[in-house]
Chains A and B, each alone.
Chain A
Amino acid sequence: DIQMTQSPSSLSASVGDRVTITCRASQSISTYLHWYQQKPGKAPKLLIYGASSLQSGVPSRFSGSGSGTDFTLTISSLQPEDFATYYCQQSYNTRCSFGQGTKLEIK
């Protein structure tokens, strides 16, 4: 099984800050890496697919990069609505797996 490890597990930041979340895979997964945002009591929302492609309707302040085992999600200028939990997902094989999540909180 492919293990996905996100860091940090939690993060405090202020509106306007630039934030980077990291996701590391236990083996190479090419660019089969996707990012989701989840707010309390809501379903996850797709942000980035294929490591760096922005999902339609997602603000351009979100960006993704990486390949192989190391990936990043960057929010260029935090907005109040961005405080949420973020998950990475690998789909290198049929049984996908998710990172444990990064909770982004207001400082």
Chain B
Amino acid sequence: QVQLVESGGGVVQPGGSLRLSCAASGFALRSYAMHWVRQGPGKGLEWVAVISYDGSMKYYADSVKGRFTVSRDNSQNTLYLQMNTLRTEDTAVYYCARHRGGQLEVNYYYDYWGQGTLVTVSS
């Protein structure tokens, strides 16, 4: 069965860095674009980033552009999110989610999500 398992969350000081991982199983990661979506405490869902199936295309939310980098290792069935220069407003549960739909840029949705990993940015 399809599984996505995030890891790497924790407590970090403002200005610090963290790398999240998302291990995929039960399907061929190399065939799917993947996204990161976050949810602040008691808040709604916010899209963070997307990476194409082969890693050649990446897009970011304006709120994280220049600070976060999404990458993938299809040979290891793993997705990553490198987060630098963290701010208190980055505090959230971070989910990886599998892209479904015909195109990377339009009419897509998420058919599988991981359980999430909590990132807390605090001094």
Interface residues of A (CB under 8 A from B): 30, 32, 34, 36, 42-46, 49-50, 55, 87, 89, 91-101
Most chain B Cβ neighbours within 10 Å, of A43, A49, A92, A101: A43
A10, chain B: closest CB distance, angstroms: 13
B105, chain A: closest CB distance, angstroms: 4
The answer on a CB contact under 8 Å between B111 and A55 is: yes
- Asked if B50 lies at the interface with its beta carbon under 8 angstroms from chain A, I say yes
Interface residues of B (CB under 8 A from A): 44-47, 50, 59, 61-62, 95, 100-101, 104-111, 113-116
Most chain A Cβ neighbours within 10 Å, of B107, B113, B115: B107
User: Which of A30, A46, A94 contacts B109 (CB under 8 A)?
Assistant: A46
Given A32-B107, A43-B116, A91-B107, A49 contacting B100 (CB threshold 8 A): yes
| A48 (CB) vs chain B CBs: closest residue | B109
Instruction: Count A-B contacts at CB 8 Å.
Output: 61
A66, chain B: closest CB distance, angstroms: 15
- Chain B residues contacting A50 (CB-CB under 8 Å) are 107, 109
The answer on a CB contact under 8 Å between B110 and A87 is: no
- Chain A residues contacting B105 (CB-CB under 8 Å) are 93-94
Q: A89 to B47: give the CA distance in the assembly, Å.
A: 10
Q: A95 to B107: give the CA distance in the assembly, Å.
A: 11
| B101 (CB) vs chain A CBs: closest residue | A91
Q: A44 to B115: give the CA distance in the assembly, Å.
A: 9
User: Which of A43, A97, A99 contacts B95 (CB under 8 A)?
Assistant: A43
Q: A94 to B105: give the CA distance in the assembly, Å.
A: 4
